[in-house]
Amino acid sequence: MKYYFTDKLYHHGVKGQKWGFRKQKRRPSNNKIKKFFKKQKSEFLQGMHEEQNRIHEQNMRNAAQAQQSNMQEHNRIHEQNMRNVVQSQQFMNQTVQQAVNASNQAASLSITGGTNPFMFG
């Protein structure tokens, strides 16, 4: 097999294609990709932020309702306790008044010489 060297350059590539360039599929630039993902991230974070705010507001409403309910229960118990105190004071006043009346009656009977209803016999 013989080889012949010539000064000619033969091209076996694609007709019309420039040397050093390759045909590539058109791709979006990195800036477009970055902007797209930045927008996606921003929308996702915005959605998360709105959801967190909604949950926080719901928790605050629940806490306020619970506090109001607890305050109503506290007020109801306080009013009942105050009624019990007033009833106790009235009972004590009646008991003391009965004792004073009985004592006065016993004293007046002993002064007048009558019989003491508390003495048996």
Asked if the structure places residue 14 within a domain, the reply is: no
Asked if the structure places residue 77 within a domain, the reply is: yes
Provide the domain count of the chain: 1
Asked if the structure places residue 58 within a domain, the reply is: yes
Q: Taking Cα atoms as reference points, which of 116, 81, 121 lies closest to residue 102?
A: 116
Question: Mind listing the pLDDT tens digit for each residue in 12-44?
Answer: 666 766 666 666 666 666 777 788 888 888 888
Asked if the structure places residue 3 within a domain, the reply is: no
Q: Where in the sequence is the domain holding 95, given as residue range(s)?
A: 32-103
Asked if the structure places residue 52 within a domain, the reply is: yes
Question: Does the pLDDT of residue 119 top 60, yes or no?
Answer: no
Q: What's the mean pLDDT in 70-96?
A: 91
Asked if the structure places residue 9 within a domain, the reply is: no
Taking a C-beta distance cutoff of 8 angstroms, is the pair 23, 17 a contact?
yes
Asked if the structure places residue 53 within a domain, the reply is: yes
CA angle 112, 95, 120 (to 5 degrees): 45
Asked if the structure places residue 18 within a domain, the reply is: no
